[in-house]
Amino acid sequence: MKLIAPSVLSADFGHLADDLEMINRSEADWLHVDVMDGTFVPNISFGFPLMEPMRKYCTKPLDVHLMIVHPEKYVERFCDAGAWSVGFHLEAVDDPLPILDLIKAKGVRTCLTINPDIDVKRLVPYLDKVDMVLLMSVFAGFGGQKFIPETMDKIRFIKAEIVKRNLPTLIEIDGGVNAENAAELFAAGADVLVAGSAVFGAKDPEEMIRKMKITA
Which residues bind to Zn ion, rule: CB under 5 A?
Answer: 34, 65, 174
Neighbours of 212 (CB within 10 A): 28
- Which residues are designated catalytic? 34, 174
At closest approach, how far in Å is the CB of 214 from ligand DX5? 18
Specify whether the CB–CB gap between 200 and 10 falls below 8 A.
Answer: yes
Q: Give 154 or 161: the residue with its C-beta nearer to ligand DX5.
A: 154
- Which residue's CB comes closest to ligand DX5? 196
Judged by beta carbon distances under 5 to 8 A according to partner kind, the member of ligand DX5, Zn ion, none in contact with residue 215 is none
Nearer to Zn ion, 114 or 163 (CB): 114
Which residue has its beta carbon closest to Zn ion? Answer: 65
The C-alpha torsion from 163 through 124 and 128 to 188, rounded to 10°, is -30
Nearer to ligand DX5, 141 or 189 (CB): 141
Q: Which residues fall within 8 angstroms of residue 36, CB to CB, at 6 or more apart?
A: 43, 44, 45, 67, 68, 140, 141
Min dist CB 204 to Zn ion, Å, is: 23
Nearest residue (CB) to ligand DX5, 7 versus 110? 7
Spatial strand order in the sheet of 192-195: 3-6, 192-195, 170-174, 132-136, 109-114, 85-89, 62-67, 31-36
Using the minimum distance from each CB to ligand DX5, give the nearer residue, 68 or 130.
68
Torsion angles phi and psi, residue 110, rounded to 5? -110, 150
Element (H, E) at 33: strand 31-36
Question: Shortest distance, CB of residue 207 to Zn ion, whole angstroms?
Answer: 23
- Least distance between ligand DX5 and beta carbon 57 (Å): 19
Binding site residues, ligand DX5, CB under 6 A: 7, 9-10, 32, 34, 65, 138, 140-145, 174-177, 194-198
Tally the residues of the chain. Answer: 216
Q: Is 82 helix (H, G, I), strand (E, B) or coil?
A: coil
Q: Are 92 and 71 in contact (CB under 8 A)?
A: yes
Residue 171 interface partner, choices ligand DX5, Zn ion, none, CB cut-off 5-8 Å depending on type: none
| Least distance to ligand DX5, CB of residue 163, Å | 26
- The one of Zn ion, ligand DX5, none whose footprint includes residue 6, by CB under 5 to 8 A per kind, is none
